[in-house]
Structure 1
Amino acid sequence: MFKKLFGEHGAKNVVTLFHKPSSTPSTRVLTLLKQANAQSVSHATEDQASDHTTHNRAQRTEFDLDVTEAPPTPDQLKNIIEYLGGPVSGAAGKIIKGAKDESEAIRRLKENEEAFQRPVVVDWNQGKAVVGENESEILSLLQSISKETDKA
C-alpha cells in the first residue's frame, strides 16, 4: 500500500544520494545522477512541447534527486540493508565499516558517522539501493524507475 501511494501516476520517485564531497567516487556518482536527471527533464520538456498522445519513456524516468551529506537515520539504515538483500546478505558490512549485522551497523553508525560508506544511492519508492560507484548498477536502478512507472 505504501509503495502504491508513491507510485501513483504523475508522482516522481525520490532518489537519495548519501554523498561525501571529498570522495572522488561520490562526486562521480553525483555527476552521473545530475546528468541522468537533467536528460529526463529535458526529454519531458520536449514531450510537453510536442504531441501529447505519445509518452516518451524518458519523461517517466524523472526523479527527484535528494543529495545529503548526513548519514542515514537508524530507520533509513535498516531499510537500506533490507534493500541490499537483508540481514543475511552481509549488506551491513558493505555500508558500515566492520559491521557484522544490522544491530551492530546501527551501533557503529551512532558511535562514528564516518563508518558509513559513501556513496550510497537509494530509490525509496522501489526499495532499491546501490553502494559505491558502479555506474551500470546505478543506471539500472534509474531505468527500473520507468519500468515501475509503466506498471502504475
Structure 2
Amino acid sequence: MFSAFKRSIPQISIFHNPSLPPSTKALDMLRAALSSPFPPVSASNSPLKFNLEVIESAPTADQIRTILDYLPRVRDVDDPHHVAALISSHPSSPSLPDRPHSPEGLVRLAQKTPLALKWPIVVDWTNGRASAGNSEGVGDVLEYLRKRRDGEAKEEEDYQPKGWFS
C-alpha cells in the first residue's frame, strides 16, 4: 500500500581524478544524465534522478570492500577481498608479486601512487552496482537506472508483513 515510501533516490558516488580523461568523461556522462534527456537519442525522455557525490580521493578500505562486492566480475574464490580489479595497468602500479592483497593495502597504495588506482570508480550505493576504470561501466550503471525509471527492471519483491492484518 505504501510502497512509494520504500523508493528512494539512488545515491551515486564517483571517485574522480580530474587529471585523467576517462574520469572526466565519466563525470560528464553522469552530469549529462542528470540535466538532459536520458538516453539522449529522444528528447521526450526525462533526465535520470539520482544524488551525485563527486569525491576527488580514493575510497576508504570499507568502501573498497563494498565496491568489490558490487563490481560485475568473476571473483577469485580463494581470496574474497581480491583488490586486483581496482589496480590499474599504469607503469607506476606495482608488479604482480608486490600488489596489495587487502583493501587497507590498496588505500595505502592509492595515497602513495594515485595513478595505480583505476579511475574513475562509480558506485550506485542504492542498487549495488559499480564500475571501475572505464566509461562503459558508467553507461551500464546509467542504463540500469533508466530501466528502473521506465519500469523495465524487475523491482525487488515487495515487503509482505506476516501477522494479523495480512
TM (normalized to structure 2)?
A: 0.63
Tell me the equivalent position of 2:163: none
Whether the 8 Å contact between 2:119 and 2:134 is mirrored in structure 1 is no
Indicate conservation of the 8 Å contact 1:109/1:116, yes or no. Answer: no
Aligned runs of 1:41-52 on 2, under 5 Å?
none
Query: What residue is the counterpart of 2:107 in the other structure?
Result: 109
Task: Find the counterpart in structure 2 of residue 125 from structure 1.
Answer: 126
For residue 19 of structure 2, give the secondary structure of its aligned residue in structure 1: coil
Q: What is the CA distance between 1:86 and its match in structure 2?
A: 7.0
Find the aligned partners of 2:124 and 2:37 in 1 and give their Cα distance: 16
Question: Which whole-Å CA distance do the structure 1 matches of 2:139 and 2:23 have between them?
Answer: 15
**Is the contact between residue 122 and residue 130 of structure 1 (CA under 8 Å) also seen in structure 2?**
yes
Q: Which residue, 74, 77, 89 being the options, matches 2:61? A: 74
1:100, distance to aligned residue in structure 2 (A): 6.0
* Partners of 1:19 and 1:112 in 2: CA distance: 13
**Deviation of 1:108 (Å):** 3.3
Q: Deviations over 1:100-151 (max 9, x none)?
A: 64x2x4213225421332111111111111112233x322211212444642
Higher relative contact order (CA 8 A, sep 6+): 1
Instruction: Say which SS state the counterpart of residue 126 (structure 2) adopts.
Output: coil
Q: Secondary structure at the match of 2:83?
A: helix
Q: Does 2:145 correspond to 1:145?
A: yes
Aligned length: 129
TM-score w.r.t. the length of structure 1 is 0.68
Unaligned 5+ segments in structure 2 are 39-43, 88-92, 157-166
Relative to its length, the structure with more helix (as a share) is 1
Distance 1:111 1:133, change over 3 A: closer
Give the CA deviation at 1:13.
Answer: 0.3
CA contact (8 A) 1:95 1:116 kept: yes
Q: How large is the RMSD of aligned CA atoms in angstroms?
A: 3.1
Report sequence identity in percent: 28
5+ long unaligned stretches in structure 1 = 1-6, 42-46, 48-55
For 1:88, which of 53, 63, 76 is the aligned residue?
A: 76
Q: Aligned partner of 1:25: which letter?
A: P
Cα distance change on mapping 1:77 and 1:126 into 2, 3 Å: same
CA contact (8 A) 1:121 1:138 kept: yes
